[in-house]
Amino acid sequence: MLDKSEYLHPDKECLSRQEIEKLQVERLQATIRHCMNSPFYKKKFEEMGIKPEDIKTVADVRKLPFTTKQDLRDTYPFGMASVPLEKCVRLHSSSGTTGNPTVILHTQKDIDEWANAVARCLHMVGLRPNDVFQNSSGYGMFTGGLGFQYGAERLGMLTVPAAAGNTLRQIKFIKDFGTTAIHAVPSYVTRIKEVMDQQGVDPRRDTKLKVLAIGAEPHSEEQRKRIEEMMGVKAYNSFGMSEMCGPGVAFECKEQNGLHFWEDYYIVEIVDPETLEPVKDGEIGELVLTTLNREAMPLIRYRTRDLTRVLGRTCPCGRNHIRLDRMKGRSDDMMVLRGVNIFPIQIEKILMQFKELSTNYLITLTTDNDNDNMTVEVELAAGIHLSEVLLQSLAKDITRALKDEILLTPHVKLLTLGTLPQTEGKAVRVKDLRTVYQ
Ligand code: ADP
Ligand code: ZN
């Protein structure tokens, strides 16, 4: 174990595996008891004859039913709550990247615990009360706003609710307030850097930045490295989802060797999305999470649809909270083209290997003569100006590298920087215009 000051909550962060599991069993029993106040779970548990005493080990979680996003939609807006509405102080709704929105309720205790979890993550990557934290993420229903705001304040940092957008003002704030840490979606960090370049601002020379928290959308290791190089600071992967509160579910430590999921707050399972049976450590499957200390709306075995795998349960940082690989994408992000399964992140990984390219890209799927086709549009990096001949040869190299990865030949279009639509929230990477989907 490192020096105690490395941990914000040493009593929870430094638990042994045995201690983690003991706590999880206790908290799961309490959660089941509490869920009997939710009309949804009461009915399910009674039908299945489930009692808190049935849980003797963490593996007994498998006796419990799964919960899906559809269940949240079916019980919209308040049918999942385990407390009366008068006890709730906040409502968040998922940003609805896929399908209808869902509602998540919070009591004051939930909000406090959520702030504690985010504060723990930020402390883990070296942030302290004397840091200045600029939250350049959307506010409102998007939990990346208030979630990081409360967490950063809980840690005691001067917290700037800059929100996303107005990039010139963001850069002014970074310089004037001596911002040392920023939270934003990866695509927005790239945007900030583009505008810094236009303004002649060098983050290494002109700012005090030392940490970036990037997350909320899938991004490749290659994209993270790009962001670190261009900003001259460490970028840590932050994972969360509205259903589990928001940010603070998992975060990388300084080792940057996977996402530590906080197992005092969640039971983590990885299952085969078809059979729903557990997969072996190291195998990719669907992430399933059970909340262990939620009051307003505990969720049992929630199927996140995010695909990942277990990397390990120990770490040189001294924390034994499970480490999972960065998300490969959601099961519903998977594109099936001519029978081949492809994730957008596979394409990103290849594009990022070309230094001539920026991190902005868009994949468009079309049907031409009854065949699926893919066009990959990608912007050139700042300062790259190539002759027509060199452009063609670069496009050819990219096409070949993509074909090796996805086994199909996409049509690659190179664009000048700033041509593709910019988003301040989660980036839209795929446009599916195929006739069958219309
Ligand atoms: P919505 O479900 O409407 O997109 P959320 O903001 O709750 O709204 O999004 C949560 C989802 O965002 C996760 O289930 C996951 O797919 C994605 N996500 C969040 N953080 C990360 C991350 N660090 N890496 C990859 N995907 C992420
Ligand atoms: Zn670690």
Q: Rounded mean pLDDT of 331-351? A: 90
In the predicted model, what is the mean pLDDT of residues 347-352?
94
Q: What is the pLDDT of residue 89?
A: 98
What order of strands is seen across the sheet that includes strand 158-160?
158-160, 132-135, 181-184, 211-215, 234-239, 250-252, 259-261, 323-324, 310-312
Burial zone of 434 (CB within 10 Å; 0-12 exposed, 13-18 middle, 19+ buried): middle
For 112-149, how does the pLDDT look when each residue is reduced to its tens digit (9 = 90+)? 999 999 999 999 999 999 999 999 999 999 999 999 99
Q: Please give the share of the chain, as a percent, with pLDDT higher than 70.
A: 97
pLDDT at 438: 39
Residue 416 Cα to ligand 2 midpoint, Å, equals: 40
**The pLDDT of residue 350:** 95
Alpha-carbon separation of residue 298 from 41, 72, 264, 424 (angstroms): 10, 12, 14, 31
pLDDT at 95 over 60: no
Average pLDDT over residues 320-328: 96
The best mutation among 239, 251, 288 to test binding of ligand 1, ranked by most ligand atoms within 8 Å of the C-beta, falls on 239
Predicted local confidence at residue 370, as pLDDT: 83
Task: Tell me the CA–centroid distance for residue 233 and ligand 2, in Å.
Answer: 19
Closest Cα partner for 345 from 357, 334, 336?
Answer: 334
Q: Tell me 14's DSSP state.
A: T
Q: Is 278 helix (H, G, I), strand (E, B) or coil?
A: strand
Q: Which atom of ligand 1 is nearest to the CA of 304?
A: 14
| Residue 221 neighbours by CB under 8 Å, 6+ apart | 326, 349
3-class DSSP state of 153? helix
pLDDT digits (tens, 9 = 90+) for 150-199: 999 999 999 999 999 999 999 999 999 999 999 999 999 999 999 999 99
Q: Whose CA is nearest to atom 12 of ligand 1?
A: 216
Residue 64 to residue 80: CA distance in whole angstroms: 16
In tens, the pLDDT along 396-433 reads: 999 999 999 998 999 999 999 989 988 778 888 999 99
pLDDT of residue 332: 82
Share of the chain above pLDDT 90, in %: 87
pLDDT digits (tens, 9 = 90+) for 364-375: 999 988 889 999
Measured from CB, residues less than 6 Å from any atom of ligand 1 are 94-97, 143, 215-218, 237-242, 304, 306, 326-327, 330
Highest mean pLDDT among 66-80, 277-291, 330-344: 277-291
Predicted confidence band of residue 98 (pLDDT cuts 50, 70, 90): low
pLDDT of residue 97: 57
Tokens of 12: 């929870």
The residue whose CA is least distant from atom 20 of ligand 1 is 216
Q: Calculate ∠ Cα 261-229-321, nearest 5°.
A: 10
Query: How many other C-beta atoms are found inside a 10 Å radius of the C-beta of residue 239?
Result: 25
Nearest atom, ligand 1, residue 305 CA: 14
